[in-house]
């Protein structure tokens, strides 16, 4: 290898190592298989369903504010093949367990205590929800919770996906 090539390779390697690795899960990509991340709790059977994966934490106020509205979505659309899965990223179990005991959300909740999954998904904000179609492909990403505007957009998108033929 000639010297210029060596220099170029060295520079590319240095820059690659110094740049922050950022690879968020985006619409059009398959969502990571949840079984491979040792999530605490029981994962629901999501195959063939429209799934909204919501990342939340007990220390995140807007995340908790979204729960009543998300509960309503779950109650309304679950009979048609929709599942809302809330994934807590709390590192400690105590506040997570206490929150669930107090509010008992009507949708399944698991905990990514090791934060392995969130490190792969790389959410842009807290909370962030990923709407996944029946084939496991992410169709939209909702960053933050903006009250009725978020709920309205989600409801429309979920209904559209539920009406799609698989």
Partner 1 sequence: MKRNHVLVLMLVGLAALLSGCTTTPVHPWERATLADYTMRPDRDPLHNTMFEHIYFSREASTGGRGVGGSGCGCN
**Residue ranges that bind partner 1, judged by CB under 8 A:** 3, 6-7, 10-11, 14-15, 17-20, 55, 57, 59-60, 89-91, 115, 118-119, 122-126, 128
How far apart (Å, rounded) are the C-alpha atoms in residues 96 and 104?
11
How far apart (Å, rounded) are the C-alpha atoms in residues 73 and 155?
7
**Closest to partner 1 by CB, 8 or 160:** 8
C-beta of 11: minimal distance to partner 1 in Å?
6
**Closest to partner 1 by CB, 54 or 90:** 90
**H or E element that contains 23:** none
Q: Could you tell me where the beta strands, DSSP code E, fall in the chain?
A: 50-56, 82-88, 109-111, 128-132, 138-143
**Closest to partner 1 by CB, 61 or 137:** 61
C-beta of 8: minimal distance to partner 1 in Å?
10
C-beta of 47: minimal distance to partner 1 in Å?
27
C-beta of 163: minimal distance to partner 1 in Å?
32
Q: Could you tell me where the beta strands, DSSP code E, fall in 21-96?
A: 50-56, 82-88
| Tokens encoding 4 | 């210029």
């Amino acid at each position: 290898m000639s010297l210029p090539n060596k220099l170029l390779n060295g520079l590319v390697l240095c820059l690659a190592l110094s740049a922050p690795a950022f690879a968020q899960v985006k619409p059009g990509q398959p969502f990571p298989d949840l079984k491979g991340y040792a999530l605490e709790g029981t994962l629901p059977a999501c195959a063939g369903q429209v799934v909204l994966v919501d990342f939340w934490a007990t220390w995140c106020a807007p995340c908790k504010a979204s729960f009543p509205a998300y509960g309503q979505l779950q109650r309304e659309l679950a009979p048609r093949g929709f599942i809302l899965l809330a994934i807590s990223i709390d590192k400690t179990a105590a506040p997570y367990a206490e929150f669930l005991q107090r509010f008992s959300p009507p949708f399944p909740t698991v905990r990514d205590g090791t934060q392995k999954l969130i490190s792969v998904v790389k959410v842009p904000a807290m909370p962030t929800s990923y709407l996944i179609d029946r084939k496991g492909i992410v169709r939209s990403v909702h960053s933050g919770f903006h009250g009725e505007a978020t709920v309205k957009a989600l409801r429309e998108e979920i209904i559209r996906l539920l009406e799609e033929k698989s």
